[in-house]
Amino acid sequence: MNREQKQEVVLALQEKMQEYGNFYIADTSGLSVEKVNNIRRKCFESGIEMKVAKNTLIKIAIDGLEGDSSEIFTALKGQSALLFSTVGNAPAKLIKSLRKGKEEKPALKAAYIDSAIFVGDNHLDSLVSLKSREELIGEIIGLLQSPAKNVVSALQSGGSKIAGIVKTLQERG
């Protein structure tokens, strides 16, 4: 691979990192071609894009991100597969589902989620339980709607009771 080709790979990786905002680095070494192809198929079905690149090129691409991302560099050893997703916890859920029984691969090397960095496979369970931005917004909207729903419900079910209370308060005036 010549210098221009390497530069193209780095630029393509940086574009993906900026486009998706989230990426995971997974270890797929030692897996058969069949298993890696299965991972690629599952990624496609889940809306996750998988790319494999040399660690030095990944490091250069990460260097171009805003902020200090040097923590990730310790994870760039051996074979590395990048998993890009717009949903922060989707790759973690996929990795978890692929590790059935006693299987240890694919293993999580590191994750970059909205500028937060997680290094090591021990973070997998906490990343799976992370809520996506859409889930958090939905919960907040639900919480904001709850008091209004209670008032509407009270008016609909016990409208006569509330009307009586309002009438009493008006009479006391």
Domain parsing of the chain, residue ranges: 3-130, 134-172
Dist. CA 142–CA 1, nearest whole Å: 53
Structure tokens at 127: 């990343």
Q: What's the sign of the alpha-carbon dihedral 94, 120, 84, 140?
A: positive
Write out pLDDT tens, residues 122-149.
999 889 888 877 777 888 887 787 776 6
Asked if residue 166 has pLDDT above 80, the reply is no
Which residues sit opposite 22 in a β-bridge? 113
Q: What do you get for the CA distance between the two ends of the chain, in Å?
A: 87
Identify the helix (H) or strand (E) that includes residue 115. Answer: none
The more confidently predicted of residues 22 and 115 is: 22
Strands 107-113 and 49-52: unpaired
Query: Average pLDDT over the chain, rounded to whole?
Result: 85
List Cβ neighbours of 29 (8 Å cut-off, separation of 6 or more). 78, 79, 105
Write out pLDDT tens, residues 54-66.
999 999 999 888 7
Helices and strands (H and E) in the chain: how many:
7, 5
Dist. CA 74–CA 125, nearest whole Å: 20
Asked if residue 36 has pLDDT above 70, the reply is yes
The CATH architecture annotation of domain 3-130 reads: 2-Layer Sandwich (3.30)
Q: Region 139-163: what's the mean pLDDT?
A: 68
Assess contact for 8 and 15: CB atoms under 8 A: no
Which pLDDT value is given to residue 93?
Answer: 92
Write out pLDDT tens, residues 41-97.
999 999 999 999 999 999 999 988 877 888 899 999 999 999 999 988 999 999 999
Which pLDDT value is given to residue 112?
Answer: 93
